Chain A
């Protein structure tokens, strides 16, 4: 575990150096330990693949005011985190995401299939056959970086990103998969679209997927997609 300043009002706690489940569990454990105590001055926690960023207000950190705020917040957080790895985590939720694969909704499905010498249906079977883990949420509101993609369909990002990817589009970027919550530019390979609203500001919980969730993709037909109630 390593503390690094991120400017004068944030710091990063590094808990590993790879995208893997043991590191992910340490990240979630660290967030849970800090959240349970909420030391004075802590304003936000941002879990990532192998680190947690702590945003704090230097004017509200506890401790001897002759010491710099950074030293004081590290001295507060360090002992809190001694239990990382032994604390229990809340059980993961399993979220099912209906996806209409291919066609206009997934314009890169055929390309991904060709890249791997597979049929489009084989790509769909592999993508929908796996269970994914939300390692982190970032980039934009509700964008969940999911690991667990079968290596046989891992596909490099496109050379030229698209300027506008519609909300709900399911993509493959390297060894990860994810769903664009909002229309945005994007460089991932687009293989389908979900009718679910991944980000909906009018919902009690606007964000569908949170760090630590498990997710599965369930193939649906174009007809089912179009008739989905309250479709995005």
Chain B
């Protein structure tokens, strides 16, 4: 079982939930930018949440499925079609052998996740199949996909096989399941978002005006933004007095303040340590909203307490677990 790449798109990479346990060696966590989308894409095709899928950015790839299989799309809406027919985001989709998945223009967000039953089965590196472009390892040969690549697939789960049986059409046309990820679980992507932020180690060192700007100003995502970090334009922030800091750990979501005053939100491929002041960390539940922003899109921060951010985190984990259980129950006894 495999997926053939006709065109790679702008930057399509194999991603999972990243690699932990190696940050002390300077190895970034990496993984999907929009982890909620990746997890839900996997859940609807009966995969483990941590299986590897494809992350397409802005301009999606063209992919051929050599065998009939079950796929799903999640995250941004990049106008996906299978053999010319529009297919929905957040649903399981059965595709016939030889079907071609293509993308159009980004309608909502900018990153689409394509999960395939069985997961993309490239060899794990440091315990993860995620592509780390900067050091050229993980994923498919450590790089973005290009024409002619062939990606191996894992074995679909029993759930996936039951879902596929239910959707298989004799007419040989791609068929989406009527059920989907509940709208409550889908992040509310937009090109202008309010993002919850937990105060960081150096938020208190900002000047009074900058503290106000951090919690109220509208920032624009600059064109020099990538999987490692988003540079924000608009308001510049300053400290009451300059600080000399020793490098220490940072996370996906840390908002760093380099000397120029334009904040940088560290993203999935964030380095393990950093030496700039940290003026906040984006609440984990809102990282998908940031991950789907394109250059030129806007965001505002809204300061929330750590306690609130963690309560949101726990509530979302419960919701995702429920979605997983609901699908498992529906297909556990082979009912159709």
Contacts and interface: CB of A to CB of B under 8 A. Distances in A.
A184 B136 CA distance: 12
A181 to B, nearest CB: 8
Interface stretch (B22-30, B99-107, B230-238): B22-30
Contact of A138 (B247, B307, B313): B247
B26 A10 contact: no
Contacts, number: 141
B210 interface: no
Contacts of A68: 306-307, 310-311
A46 B250 CA distance: 9
* Size bin of chain A's contact surface: 35 or more
A8 B26 contact: no
A136 B247 contact: yes
Contacts of A182: 134-135
A192 interface: no
A8 B309 contact: yes
B283 interface: yes
B331 interface: no
Contact of B251 (A10, A58, A145, A211): A10
B248 A53 contact: yes
Contacts of A132: none
A19 B283 CA distance: 31
A6 B281 contact: yes
Interface in B230-289: 246-251, 253-254, 271-273, 278, 281-284
A143 interface: yes
Interface residues of B, number: 42
Contact of A46 (B24, B134, B283, B317): B24
A165 B317 CA distance: 43
Contact of B26 (A43, A45, A69, A143): A143
Given A8-B306, A68-B311, 10 more contacts: A8-B281, A10-B251, A44-B23, A47-B24, A48-B273, A55-B23, A70-B306, A142-B26, A201-B135, A211-B24
Interface of B: 20-29, 125-126, 134-135, 137, 198, 200-201, 246-251, 253-254, 271-273, 278, 281-284, 306-307, 309-311, 313-314, 317
Nearest first, the 8 A-B pairs at minimum CB distance are A53-B249, A7-B281, A138-B273, A48-B248, A8-B309, A46-B249, A49-B246, A207-B25
13 contacts: A7-B198, A46-B249, A48-B273, A53-B250, A136-B247, A136-B273, A137-B26, A138-B272, A139-B271, A145-B247, A182-B134, A199-B135, A210-B24
